[in-house]
Amino acid sequence: MDADQTRSSLIRRLRDPADKESWGQFYELYQPLLLRYVQSRNVGPHDAEDLVQDIFINKLRKAMENFELDHARGRFRTWLFQVTINAIRDWTRQKQNQIAATGQSSQFTGPIVPSVTEELSRDWNRYHHQQVMQYAMKKIKASSEPKTWACFEQRTLRGRPASEVAGELGLNVNAVYTNAHRVLEKIRGLCQEHDEELLPTEELSGQT
């Protein structure tokens, strides 16, 4: 199954709000992304958590029931970005209306979200890239044998000589290279499933 099929499969499963496993996977991947992005738009931590919960419960759960992944119209992450921006706009208007209703002078310093700009999109894409990378490494590490992951971590992430790693782990040098490569390819594949290309190896160390 290729990356497009994998993404489509998950999205189809999300049409069922009772599919806890699929929604759990979706939430684990995207909740940190949404929370980080919302907070970057000058929403306080408590409000940001409430807003992200609202996005999942009142926006995404409803939208995903009939969502169709149409690659001709763009990526899923682009659609999710627009949902998030619209939710921030709605939240801002509600806050402003609440202040106006109390008759208080507005001291509101919440986000100002104009029409989508290149900067807003660039920030979102960067956060998405980093979150998918972290998610992929976490998942592959959890499913790997400790020695297999250690080969990848010590050789690929830390750049240590394969002979040193082999000696510490009780393996031969060829096994170190093989294990490190297999882990790298698994991470690469999982990233591609979520619309991301693997970061250059020299950048991966910051994700551990």
What class is the 1-116 domain? mainly alpha
- Range picked from 8-17, 28-37, 87-96, 105-114 for highest mean pLDDT: 28-37
- According to CATH, the topology of domain 134-208 is Arc Repressor Mutant, subunit A (1.10.10)
| Alpha-carbon span 60 to 21, nearest angstrom | 16
Question: pLDDT tens, 37-71?
Answer: 999 988 899 999 999 999 999 999 999 988 887 76
Q: Which residue has the higher pLDDT, 110 or 49?
A: 49
Contact 34, 20 (CB under 8 A): no
Q: What sign has the CA pseudo-torsion 139, 140, 143, 146?
A: negative
Domain ranges of the chain: 1-116, 134-208
Q: How far is CA 168 from the centre of its chain?
A: 34
- When the pLDDT of each residue in the chain is averaged and rounded to a whole number, the result is 86
Q: What's the CA gap between 67 and 114, in Å, rounded?
A: 26
Cβ neighbours of residue 92 under 8 Å, at least 6 residues apart?
110, 111, 112, 113
